[in-house]
Structure 1
Amino acid sequence: MTCRLFLALCLAVWPLVGQAQDRLRVATWTVELTRNGPGVLLRDILKGDDAHILAAQSHIKALSPDVLLLVGFDTDLDGHALAQFARDLDYPYLFTRSGNSGRSTGIDMDKDGRFGEPEDAQSYGEFTGQGGIAFLSRLPIDVDGIRDFSEMLWRDLPRARIPEGYFEPKDLDVLRLSSHAHWDIPVVWNDAPLHLFTYAATSPVFDGEDDRNGRRNADETRFWQLYLDGALALPPPDAPFVILGDSNLDPSDGDGLRVDMVALLSDPRLQDPKPRSDFGAMIATPDHLGDPTLDTADWSDPVPGNLRVDYVLPSKALHVIDAGVAWAPADGLETPFRHGLVWVDLARIP
């Protein structure tokens, strides 16, 4: 077990036993701290004068989540960028791995006759870990209990929606389900486990009539219901859990197989706190069907427009106290980030 594999273990220098904490703030934020080459984000963090990075750190300090999943964060093999980013943020426990974005497959995945392009990686990326995910926690992480499903092949998902006739058999021997990662991360909350099901799905666009991205996107979200069903290789945990991340899928508007997002939000094992913001209503996209106060992404109008794509979904075994979408401080209707930070305050049910 090394720092390279388990950053959480190597950075967990705080004692495992602390004061009881009755209220827990769980959050996810698609922060879009990504650069055009490996090590560039680390360089910019170390310089200490990048406005985007400083604004992100300031926003996190202001909202002060106890558990935070960052999406769209360039990861590196040893987790140096995350460690430096979190250095002054009061998160003693960190976990990340180089995920599937930008990871070479050796195959012409987009069938354009050229190999080695960003489109030919496990998921679009100019280098391994570009725009990945990272986990920060004030609660101890049960490192030995982490389950990483990121190497699971797409074809091995029950009822996988792989487009017929697009991929060759050799493609499916290497093509993974996760465009970034699927992690089940257990933390210790008041001496009891809480599982964080973390992921970020591919965009359901940028393909053709085969809809390979839309199909993969939906299957990445459907993965969690199959996990809870016990339909995968490992049984689900017998403990409270929270699903959090960026599904890139709105239940009412935009592209993608929205029925799968509706199915997850209506799963009786989960609850949807419906985090809201007034800012979402101020920037509402005309003609959209969904409630704009629930939107978490501010994209160009009219297509795709503002959408709800970032989620924190606790299990029914937890009590929801409060929830919201916190957009970084804005100048009028301008904000330096396209996504709001989605947070939910939780308590255990006695």
Structure 2
Amino acid sequence: MEIRVATFNVSMEAENYVPRGTHVSGEEMFAHLATGEHPQIGNIAEIIQRVRPDILLLNEFDYHPDAQKGIQAFVKHYLNQPQSGAEAIDYPYFYIAPVNTGVDSGHDLDGDGVASGSGGDAFGFGLYPGQYGMALLSRFPILKDDVRTFQRFLWKDMPDNLMTTVMDDQGKPWFSEQAQQVLRLSSKSHWDVPIDVGGKRVHILASHPTPPVFDGPENRNGKRNHDEIRFWVDYLSSDNKAAYIYDDKGTKGGFKGERFVILGDLNASQTEGDAFKQPIVNLLTHPEVHGSFVPRSEGGALHSPQNPLGAMHTAAWRMRPDYVLPSQHGWKIKEGGVFWPTQSDTLYRLIKDRNASSDHRLVWLDLAMAE
């Protein structure tokens, strides 16, 4: 059996749908989802219809507890409708869950002297709860009763974490003792979502670590990105290394399964960008991860003609932050790519600039299930 698995940072968050500097309530995107008429969302849907993944993670898709206003509206009003000649596509199964963005921590986390409750003082940066959320779409049944989420896992509970090394310019801890007791590791969430694919369980390991920028010399975001990626390295490792991990239901330990696919915008590259390189290197070279296959595109290569790594890029800002990483066992990689049409391609209109769709590209792999 062969399936196509993909990840796509769609930039479907409220700030993307109002003029720059305008106050956002968090409802702006959902209003557009109800109409089925927004051209940028239509382009995002068309990209998905063109690539036609069977399982798809959406990063930066605002979370709404009422799925009918959020992910189901996107499926019904956009994906189920042909976009500019592309064939409609349906996803009868989805998974959403709360994220840490915009959730008040009760502490001053950004160091401005005020515990404002949102933005840099939220558990994950966000102007309202649910901003930059995640959603998983599937053409196969999602085993929701067996999902593990790690939204509330505390950063302090990761052994040898880098939170304790975040210092101000006086050499004092950036985060107060009280803040260190409640600060969560995940800037959004980490999910382990099992899916029934032809009678076999496939675990989708989804996340969206914080960008390792937008901070200062203390590098609090860079160090958090380091540990958010390291979480998956530990989760897939031996029982002893993963013993510290607990999920939101209190179940302890690491990965318990066979086949998996790691999906998401990890905001890190082993060769470029500001992130610590070791965690993503450790993930790509993990004995349980097939990290040697790199999806490529001609469009990415032409976007950065002087950069030999351009074909690997998955974002317009010239880096590879987005990953589809299958397990070493249980799969054979058949093909893969990055949806990045060249300027001579009629589909270039879908990615020509930031307002056409997203500043990220959809990344996909075709995987054949092996015994």
TM-score normalised per structure 2 = 0.83
Opposite residue 292 of structure 1, the aligned amino acid is: G
- Of 337, 348, 357, which aligns to 1:324? 337
1:197 aligns with 205
Say which of 182, 185, 188 aligns to 2:196: 188
Which whole-Å CA distance do the structure 1 matches of 2:181 and 2:150 have between them? 16
Say whether 1:63 aligns with 2:42: no
Distance of aligned partners of 1:194 and 1:332 in 2 relative to their CA distance in 1, 3 Å threshold: closer
Tell me if 1:339 matches 2:349: no
Q: Equivalent residue of 2:45, what SS? A: helix
Select the residue among 169, 187, 191 that pairs with 1:179.
187
Cα distance, 1:134 vs structure 2: 0.6
Distance 1:204 1:347 in 2: 34
CA shift digits 1:214-251 (9 cap, x unpaired):
00001111101111123122231231111110100111
Select the residue among 280, 283, 295 that pairs with 1:275: 295
Corresponding position of 1:315: 327
Q: Which amino acid aligns with 1:156?
A: D
Give the alignment partner of residue 258 of structure 2, picking from 220, 239, 244: 239
Question: What is the CA–CA distance in structure 2 between the aligned matches of 1:122 and 1:326, rounded to whole Å?
Answer: 32
Matches within 5 A, 1:267-306: 267-272=286-291, 273-284=293-304, 286=306, 291-299=309-317, 306=318
One-letter code of the match for 1:27? A
Residue pair 1:250, 1:308 contacting (<8 A) in 2 also: yes
Q: Which residue of 2 aligns with 1:12?
A: none
Q: 1:135-194, CA deviations, whole angstroms, 9 ceiling, x for partnerless residues?
A: 000110111110001110111112211125111111012211110110000000111111
- Give the residue type in structure 2 aligned to 1:44: H
Unpaired segments of 5 or more residues in structure 1?
A: 1-21, 300-305
Structure 2's unaligned 5+ residue stretches are 15-23, 81-88, 168-172, 246-251, 342-346
Q: Distance in 2 between matches of 1:126 and 1:57?
A: 26
| 101-110 vs 157-166, greater mean Cα deviation | 157-166
Shift of 1:98: 2.2
- What is the letter of the counterpart of residue 71 of structure 2? L
CA displacement 1:298-317 (0-9 Å, x = unmatched): 12xxxxxx000000000011
Deviation at residue 332 of structure 1 after TM alignment: 10
- Count of aligned residue pairs for this structure pair: 321
> AA paired with 2:11?
E
Aligned residue type for 1:102: G
Matches within 5 A, 1:1-350: 22-35=1-14, 36-79=24-67, 80-87=69-76, 88=80, 89-116=89-116, 117-162=118-163, 163-164=166-167, 165-229=173-237, 230=239, 231=242, 232=245, 233-272=252-291, 273-284=293-304, 286=306, 291-299=309-317, 306-317=318-329, 318-327=331-340, 329-331=347-349, 334-335=352-353, 336=356, 337-350=358-371
* Structure 2 partner of 1:17: none
Q: Tell me the distance in 2 between the aligned counterparts of 1:127 and 1:228.
A: 32
1:283–1:333 Cα contact (<8 Å) kept: no
2:309 maps to a residue whose letter is: D
- Give the drift of 1:285: 6.9
For the residues of structure 2 that align with 1:39 and 1:331, how far apart are their CA atoms? 27
Deviations 1:20-46 (A, max 9, x none): xx1110000001011132222110111
Give yes or no for contact 1:326–1:342 (8 Å, CA) kept in 2: yes
Matched position secondary structure for 1:205: coil
Provide the rounded CA distance (Å) in 1 between the counterparts of 2:202 and 2:36: 34
SS at match of 2:236: helix
Secondary structure of residue in 2 paired with 1:193:
strand
2-structure distance, mates of 1:205, 1:144 = 36
Secondary structure of the structure 2 residue equivalent to 1:173: helix
TM-score, normalising length: structure 1: 0.88
Give the superposition deviation at 1:333. 8.0
